[in-house]
Amino acid sequence: MTDTIETPTAAPKSRFAKFWDSDFAWSFRHSPVAIIASLVVIVLALAAIFAPLIAPYNPFDPATLNLMNGFTPPRTPNAFTQETFLMGTDDQGRDVFSTILYGMRISLFVGVSAVLLAMIIGVILGLMAAYFGGWTETIIMRIADVQLTFPAILVAMLIFGIAKGVTPPEYRNEMAIYVLIIAIALSDWVQFARVVRGAALVEKNKEYVQAARLIGRGSIPIMFRHILPNVLSPVLVIATISLALAIIAEATLSFLGVGAPPTQPSLGTLIRIGQGFLFSGEWWILFFPACTLLALALSVNLLGDWLRDALNPKLR
């Protein structure tokens, strides 16, 4: 075969057209699961972001609360006030639909922030470990190994417990959300660091990195300009799966009472509250938050699953 240059026959395609025609976009267009999952995620995320506009009540404004409305079943008029609620009300007369919207806001905020923080820490440490090797690598990966032996949820609990001991009681509720973010992020960075290190070790030995070193580029440009763009696809997959895990971890911690405080209830806190009423027949207080949590975690997981297959062509 002789070396020939393809002469461009058609006019150059726009960036979007190129992307639309790529294998990645193609596999998305042909996966109903991926399309539905991403739609669910988008709808839920928008609902959470615009909760104050959508929610019929502000569950945190005591002025709008009426204890008489307590325990109203879904779509049935309350015996005293004749008000109807889409998903019923809880013991304090809060509209369950509104609390879910606000709760999802907190769940998503904690989940996304924790994953971003974990990603930044993990990617930087993973790149450093792979690129510098030697002592840097030994120290970073030993810490990662030790931490990995401890399950994320336990690490998060410990951090939460320590933070609770350190912060003065009057700030505890205010700080709780941020402590939660840091606790989840610190328990999750190891995944990113390991994946990035593994991928970067492969990339580091490729000749384009040596070519860049030969030109004289320093460590930082090589790590971030050359290696990082080539290890991003596994990072993206881990980030998606981690988001589902972080949402679940947040819900679990809040359920156990070591997460979001009752003044700022997340989905997990709502389930914790609802659990007490399940056996007395007020099923809706638990049922709707639980379904929302499942829908959120499941669609993020489905997206992550699809993403992993789409970005790893040899699996197809």
Partner 1 sequence: MFAYIVRRMFQSVIVLLVVGLVAFSMFRFVGDPIDNMLGQERTQADIDRLRSELGLDQPFPVQYFKFLQGAVQGNFGVSYRQGRPVSTIIAERAPATLELAFVSGVLAITLGIALGVFTAIRRQGVAANVIMTVSLIGVSLPTFLIGILLIYIFSVELDLLPSFGRGETVMIGNWSTGFLTTSGLKALILPAITLGLYQMTLIMRLVRSEMLEVMRADYVRFARARGLSDRVINFRHALKNTLVPVITITGLQLGSIIAFAIITETVFQWPGVGLLFINAIQFVDIPVMAAYLMLISVMFVTINLIVDLLYYAIDPRLRVDARAT
Partner 2 sequence: MSLLTINDLTVEFPTRRQLFTAVDHVDLSVEPGEIHGLVGESGAGKSTIGAAIMGLLDRPGRIASGTIKLSGEQISGLDAEAMRGLRGKKISMIFQDPLTSLNPLFTVREQLVETIQAHLGGSDAEANKRARDLIDRVGIPDPDTRLDQYPHQFSGGMRQRVVIALALCTEPDVIIADEPTTALDVSVQAQILDLIKELATERQVGVILITHDMGVIADTTDKVTVMYAGKVVETGPTSQVMGRPSHEYTKSLIAAVPRPTLKLHRFPQISYGGRETRFAIEDMARHWPKVDNDTSKPVFEIRDLTKKFLQRKGLLPWDRTYFTAVDQVSFDIRAGEVFGVVGESGSGKSTVARMIAGLYPVDGGTITFEGQVVSDLKNRAALDAYRKNIQMIFQDPYSSLNPRMRVDDIVAEPIRHHRLMDGADIKRRVDELLDQVGLGHEAGLKYPHEFSGGQRQRISIARALATQPRFLICDEPTSALDVSIQAQILNILKDLQEHLGLTLLFISHDLPVVRQMCDRVAVMKQGKVVELQETNSLFANPQTEYASELLRLMPRLDDLSTEGLSAEG
- Which of partner 2, partner 1, none is residue 275 near (CB under 5 to 8 Å by kind)? partner 1
Within 158-217, the residues that bind partner 2 by CB under 8 A are 206-208, 210-217
Task: Choose between 33 and 120: whose C-beta lies nearer to partner 1.
Answer: 33
Diameter of the chain by CA atoms? 87
Structure token pair of residue 82: 């004749």
Q: How far is the CB of 141 from partner 2 (least distance, A)?
A: 13
First vs last C-alpha separation in the chain:
29
- Which of partner 1, partner 2, none is residue 49 near (CB under 5 to 8 Å by kind)? none
Tell me how far apart the alpha carbons of residues 124 and 140 are, in angstroms, rounded to a whole number: 11
5 lies in the binding site for partner 2 (CB under 8 A): yes
Task: Choose between 184 and 290: whose C-beta lies nearer to partner 1.
Answer: 290
89 bridge partner residues: 95
- Which of partner 2, partner 1, none is residue 210 near (CB under 5 to 8 Å by kind)? partner 2
Helix (H) or strand (E) holding 137, with range, is: helix 134-149
Tell me how far apart the alpha carbons of residues 275 and 287 are, in angstroms, rounded to a whole number: 9
Q: Spell out the residues 6+ positions from residue 230 whose beta carbon is closer than 8 angstroms to its own.
A: 199, 203
Q: How far is the CB of 239 from partner 2 (least distance, A)?
A: 18
Q: How far is the CB of 51 from partner 1 (least distance, A)?
A: 22
- Length of the chain as a residue count: 316
Positions that interact with partner 2 (CB under 8 A): 1-5, 8, 12, 23, 26, 206-208, 210-217, 226, 229-230
